[in-house]
C-alpha cells in the first residue's frame, strides 16, 4: 500500500510540473532571425575586406542606367551648372529647383581668366568620378 501512495504522489507531482512548464513555454517562444543583413554581420569577419577601388569599379546594369539617366549638378553663387551631351549648361536656381527649360550654354570665349578658372573648377567637379567622359573619338 505504501508503494501505491508514493507512486500516486509522484504521478500527481509530475503532472502538475508538466502542466506548469507547458504554460511557461508558450510565453517564452524563441524566434530565430534569418535575414540577409544578420547573416552578413555573422560572417563578415570571415570575408575579405572590400576596398574602395573594388566598389568604384562597378559595371552593372543598374549603374549604367543610373549614369545614363541622371545628371550631376553643381550649384555655385545661385547658378546651377551641368554637362549634358558634351555641352556645358547653366541656369538659375529657383525655390523649387532648377528649370532645365531656361538653361543656356556657357559661353567661355568672352570670359576673363578668373571666370575661366572658376568654370574649369566646376567642370572638374562635374567630371569627378566618371570613367568615360565622352571626350574621345571612339576610333580605337
Per-residue pLDDT at 137? 54
Q: In sequence order, which residues have a C-beta less than 8 Å from that of residue 15 and are 6 or more positions away?
A: none
**How would you classify residue 86: left for phi > 0, otherwise alpha for psi between -120 and 50, otherwise beta?**
left
This prediction has a pTM of 0.50
Q: Could you say which DSSP state residue 116 is in?
A: H
Residue 83, φ and ψ in degrees, nearest 5: -120, 125
Q: Taking the chain (140 residues) in consecutive chunks of 10 residues, what is each chunk's mean pLDDT?
A: 85 84 59 84 83 65 84 87 86 83 85 88 80 52
Amino acid at each position: 500500500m505504501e508503494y501505491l501512495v508514493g507512486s500516486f504522489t509522484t504521478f500527481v507531482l509530475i503532472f502538475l510540473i508538466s502542466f506548469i512548464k507547458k504554460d511557461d513555454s508558450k510565453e517564452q517562444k524563441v524566434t530565430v532571425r534569418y535575414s540577409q543583413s544578420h547573416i552578413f554581420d555573422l560572417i563578415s569577419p570571415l570575408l575579405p575586406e572590400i576596398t574602395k577601388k573594388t566598389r568604384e569599379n562597378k559595371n552593372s546594369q543598374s549603374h549604367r542606367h543610373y549614369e545614363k539617366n541622371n545628371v550631376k549638378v553643381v550649384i555655385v553663387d545661385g547658378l546651377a551648372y551641368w554637362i549634358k551631351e558634351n555641352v556645358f549648361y547653366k541656369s538659375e536656381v529657383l525655390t523649387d529647383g532648377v528649370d532645365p527649360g531656361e538653361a543656356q550654354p556657357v559661353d567661355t570665349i568672352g570670359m576673363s581668366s578668373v571666370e575661366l578658372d572658376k568654370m574649369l573648377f566646376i567642370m572638374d567637379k562635374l567630371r569627378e568620378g566618371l570613367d568615360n567622359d565622352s571626350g574621345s573619338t571612339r576610333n580605337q
